[in-house]
Amino acid sequence: MRKVSRAAKAWDRGFRVLAAIGAASPAVFLVSIAAIVLVESIPTIRFMGIHFLTETRWDMGNLYGALTHRNGITAPAGASYGALVFIVGTLLSSIIALIIAVPVSVGTALILAYRVRGPLGFLLNILVELLAGIPSVVIGLWGILVLVPWIANAFAPFLKSILGFIPFFGGQTGTGYSLLASGIVLAMMIVPIITATTRDLLEQVPVLAREGGLGIGMTSWEVVRYIALPYIREGFIGAVALGWGRAMGETMAVLMVSGNATNILPQNLYSPISTMAAFIANQLDSAETDASGMAVHALSELALLLLAITLATNLVARWLVRPRRREGVVAS
């Protein structure tokens, strides 16, 4: 047996320390961020209470007039901080993005994993991964120049003519700056994430299982439906959760095409909206002009709420994959 030198032992201890720091860093960062926004949110939590989640009016009040006092907190007269509009905008736009992105991502991943080979497959894989690297402001600019006019002049009237009997698809089609535009832009941004992850998962499905399915007379669709997709179920749910988290946290692209609506809930698919992340970015400068600091505290509570929703999404995704894991343990 080789004798380990003191230098080697020192390097090993150093490696263990660095590994421990690296492993603990994500948790430390998450807890630190959550603690900071929670502390900053306390004044608004005391001032608004549960009404922060149920009110639709967001008003910084009279910044140059008298101050009001409530529950031991001082705020500008007439101030009200209601986040319901931004909660609804965030959830609706991200759900629409998933409705668009998931089928597109699965279809693209299946083609990349099972149908395309050689230089063409390499090129398509590179293009998918490059799409994920496009800055959000570029996609937002494309949305302003191309997507918004197309929705206003063509797509929204078309949807209304076909599905207008459904209230959510009826009504005024608006200017194109809308919930629909936000959902499409977000879908473009999460398609590469879900596609790349799903492609890697599909490539891990055993070849013998797929070829065995074809050998007993299954069609390609049946192999995908009954062999490939069940095999990657857990990882696919994680990929969708990752895409959903990205959609809810996206800022600049949504800010540019959403219409930045405040104090009004969306009436249909073509209504302007504002999301929590976009509103924080849009209002931070003006919030800092509030000498009482309440506007910044209110934005902090909005950030805390966004963080909580994102974490809840990931916890739900983990919960969804638990039954299969238990079945696998029982079966073994």
Phi and psi at residue 126, to the nearest 5°? -65, -40
Phi-psi region of 261 (alpha: psi -120 to 50; beta: other; left: phi over 0): beta
Give the CATH fold of the 84-278 domain. MetI-like fold (1.10.3720)
Rounded CA-CA distance 311/301 in Å is 15
Token output for 307:
């963080």
pLDDT in tens, the chain (332 residues): 567 677 777 888 888 889 999 989 988 998 999 999 999 999 999 999 999 999 999 999 888 878 888 888 888 888 899 999 999 999 999 999 999 999 999 999 999 988 888 888 888 888 888 888 888 999 999 999 999 999 999 999 999 999 989 989 988 988 999 999 999 999 999 999 999 999 999 988 988 888 888 888 888 888 888 999 999 988 898 889 889 988 998 889 999 999 998 899 999 999 999 999 999 999 988 888 888 889 999 999 999 999 999 888 888 877 776 655 444 433 43
Q: Where along the chain do its domains lie?
A: 1-81+290-308, 84-278
Cβ-proximal residues to 5 (8 Å cutoff; 6+ apart), any chain: none
- pTM here is 0.87
CA angle 87, 278, 71 (to 5 degrees): 55
